[in-house]
């Protein structure tokens, strides 16, 4: 499950459906407690849950809009239900649902950015009670370094912050001069920043040092891994049952430390069935474990595969990372083998290795369906696309083709949804994406009009500068929807695929 780092804290669940006891509602909002929480989640297809505190100003501001949203969803017979949990009454339930994040946020927003620590006992309690704690040691709470620290603390809700101005207490903690220390219950136990104490440097330092050198991927760490500022990750695919964690992780800690400001080291336990999709995403099978990959999360995501045995030999891993940082590595793109009969049917079968030869043939107009085997819309389109292939199989300049985009990747084309239909036009290889009705008639007309019928419109962004109430935003959306419907009155209607 994923929690947003705000209060009120909201979480969307989508489980299976089973029966449960009746649950009280408050103006259409489910009132959830420890006794009915699990049943409520299981009994409804989607539940958006707010964890709130009655005295929280932000919670009070949200309350009327939350009720309006619940009533609107009910009027529309939506499967989505809104629920709420009083985190001050349901302590155990709140603890199970990211209580640390709730408490840290509440303390930060209702008090100072950092707690003043006047004694060794206060400091010890703060450190003992938390997995990660950030403490600033300063000669004066009003000096420039302290101000920069407090500014940084005010913008980070993930961890508790403290501030010490007692020189004796600083000395007991082996700190001389101004410093920011991250105390943690892993790795070396602490990390110190003693130079360039600017807000920007302090934030970067905390976000890097508050994570383990090698982060074990799971539900709790997923947001920090993929939502963090470090967008390049070394992924170690290991089996705990096979002893890979004990065998490899310790040796790689020094490499992780060397590059921690540039890359994040992540271990993935392949024994966990929930991680099967990650293996699938990288085109890997369990027989290949243990293995390593490098991924760059950016607008154009890229994956890289080492050639040597980087798990056994950390020198090879260092060389691999150095080549990545220097921009010398080529992306690792998935590709199936070319089937022997790839061109023997009306719909040609493309893979990454033969895609350019076929789709970018300047003598042909080539319509390609990028599909996923598990995609329901793709399955519905399949018989229609086969008929389209039959219709144009003897056409001298039109080719109908398809490619499984889950196991074939192209450096020049990124597919974000399924199915995606693209026409590669003869002559200049101009690409026209199809966004019309997925019928034989619609697709045929798209080809016969040289891609002008049914082509996807360019993305449009409309700025909204109105009020932040549900009613005002709903009115804005309805107005824009009405404008689009007026423009489209004469346009053919799309199907529901």
Question: Domain containing 83 — which CATH number?
Answer: 3.40.30.10
* 134 occurs within a structural domain: yes
pLDDT value for 374: 85
SS3 of 39, please?
helix
3-class DSSP state of 491: coil
Task: Count other C-beta atoms under 10 Å from residue 466's C-beta.
Answer: 9
Nearest to 257 by CA among 234, 223, 290: 234
Looking at the fold, whether 352 and 444 belong to one and the same domain comes out as: yes
pLDDT at 460 over 70: no
Please check whether residue 494 lies inside any domain of the structure: no
Query: Is 317 a domain residue?
Result: yes
Q: Is residue 454 part of a domain?
A: no
User: Can you name the residues that pair with 219 across neighbouring β-strands?
Assistant: none
Is residue 84 located within the same domain as residue 121? no
Domain count, the chain: 4
In the DSSP assignment, the letter for residue 434 is B
Q: 432 forms bridges with which residues in the sheet?
A: 423
**pLDDT > 90? residue 278:** no
- Whether 360 is in a domain gets the answer yes
pLDDT band, residue 434 (cuts 50/70/90): very high
Whether 359 is in a domain gets the answer: yes
| pLDDT higher than threshold 50 for residue 128 | yes
Residues 321 and 218 in one domain: yes
Q: How many CB atoms lie within 10 A of CB 234?
A: 25
The alpha carbon dihedral of 427, 430, 433, 436 has a sign of negative
Among the candidates 209, 242, 273, a domain finishes at 209
Confirm whether 271 is domain-assigned: yes
Together in a domain, 284 and 239: yes
Query: Helices 244-258 & 314-325, crossing angle to 10 degrees?
Result: 40
Neighbours of 114 (CB within 10 A): 22
User: Mean pLDDT over residues 427-444, rounded?
Assistant: 93
Residues 187 and 221 in one domain: no
Q: Angle at which helices 470-487 and 57-75 pack, to 10 degrees?
A: 40
pLDDT digits (tens, 9 = 90+) for 155-206: 888 899 999 999 999 999 999 999 999 999 999 999 999 999 999 999 999 9
Q: Which of 209, 237, 265 finishes a domain?
A: 209
* R_g (Cα) of the chain, nearest Å: 28
For the segment 126-146, the average pLDDT, to the nearest whole number, is 96
Residue 172 domain flag: yes
Per-residue confidence at 430, pLDDT binned at 50, 70, 90? very high
Do 83 and 174 lie in one domain? The reply is no
Range of the domain at 311: 214-325
Of the candidates 317, 299, 287, the residue with the CA atom closest to the CA atom of residue 214: 317
146 and 199 inside one domain: yes
379-399 residue pLDDT tens: 999 999 999 999 999 999 999
Q: Would you call 102 exposed, middle or buried from its count of C-beta atoms within 10 A (0-12, 13-18, 19+)?
A: buried
Averaged pLDDT, 311-332: 95
For residues 218 and 273, state if they share a domain.
yes
Q: Which of 209, 240, 271 is the last residue of a domain?
A: 209
Catalytic residues: 56, 59, 375, 378
> Do 218 and 320 fall into the same domain?
yes
199 and 141 assigned to the same domain: yes
- Number of Cβ atoms within 10 Å of the Cβ of 91: 12
Instruction: Give the C-alpha separation, 109 to 155, whole Å.
Output: 10
């Amino acid at each position: 499950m994923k929690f947003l780092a705000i209060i009120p804290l909201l979480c969307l669940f989508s489980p299976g459906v089973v029966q449960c006891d009746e649950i009280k509602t408050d103006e259409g909002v489910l009132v959830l407690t420890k006794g009915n929480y699990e049943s409520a989640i299981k009994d409804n297809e989607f539940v958006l849950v707010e964890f709130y505190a009655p005295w929280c100003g932000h919670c009070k501001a949200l309350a009327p809009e939350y009720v309006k949203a619940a009533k609107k969803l009910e009027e529309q017979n939506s499967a989505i239900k809104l629920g709420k949990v009083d985190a001050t009454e349901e302590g155990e339930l709140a603890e199970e649902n990211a209580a640390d994040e709730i408490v840290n946020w509440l303390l930060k927003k209702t008090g100072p950015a950092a707690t003043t620590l006047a004694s060794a006992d206060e400091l010890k309690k703060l450190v003992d009670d938390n997995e990660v704690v950030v403490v600033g040691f300063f000669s004066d709470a009003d000096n420039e370094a302290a101000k920069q620290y407090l500014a940084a603390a005010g913008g980070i809700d993930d961890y508790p912050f403290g501030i010490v101005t007692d020189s004796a207490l600083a000395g007991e903690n082996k700190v001389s001069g101004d410093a920011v220390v991250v105390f943690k219950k892993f790795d070396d136990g602490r990390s110190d920043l003693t130079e360039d104490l600017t807000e920007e440097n302090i934030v970067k330092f905390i976000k890097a040092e508050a994570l383990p050198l090698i982060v074990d991927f799971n539900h709790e760490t997923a947001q920090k891994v993929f939502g963090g500022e470090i967008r390049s990750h070394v992924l170690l695919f290991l089996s705990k049952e096979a002893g890979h964690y004990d065998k490899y992780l310790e040796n790689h800690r020094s490499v992780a430390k060397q590059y921690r400001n540039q890359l994040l080291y992540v271990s993935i336990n392949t024994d966990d069935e929930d991680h099967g999709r990650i293996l699938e995403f990288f085109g890997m099978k369990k027989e290949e474990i243990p293995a390593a990959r490098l991924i760059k999360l950016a607008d154009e995501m890229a994956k890289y595969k080492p050639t040597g045995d980087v798990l056994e030999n950390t020198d090879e891993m260092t060389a691999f990372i150095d080549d990545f940082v220097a921009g010398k590595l080529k992306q690792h793109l998935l590709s199936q083998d070319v089937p022997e009969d790839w061109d023997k049917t009306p719909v040609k079968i493309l893979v990454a290795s033969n895609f350019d030869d076929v789709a970018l043939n300047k003598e042909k107009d080539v319509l390609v369906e990028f599909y996923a085997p598990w995609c329901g819309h793709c399955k519905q389109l399949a018989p229609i696309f086969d008929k389209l292939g039959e219709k144009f199989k003897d056409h001298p300049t039109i080719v109908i083709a398809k490619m499984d985009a889950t196991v074939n990747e192209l450096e020049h084309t990124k597919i974000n949804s399924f199915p995606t239909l693209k026409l590669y036009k003869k002559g200049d290889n101009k690409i026209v994406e199809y966004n019309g009705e997925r019928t034989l008639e619609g697709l045929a007309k798209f080809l016969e009009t040289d891609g002008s019928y049914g082509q996807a419109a360019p993305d449009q962004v409309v700025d909204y500068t109105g009020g932040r109430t549900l009613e005002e935003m709903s009115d804005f959306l309805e107005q824009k929807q009405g404008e689009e419907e007026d423009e489209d009155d004469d346009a053919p209607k799309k199907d529901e695929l």
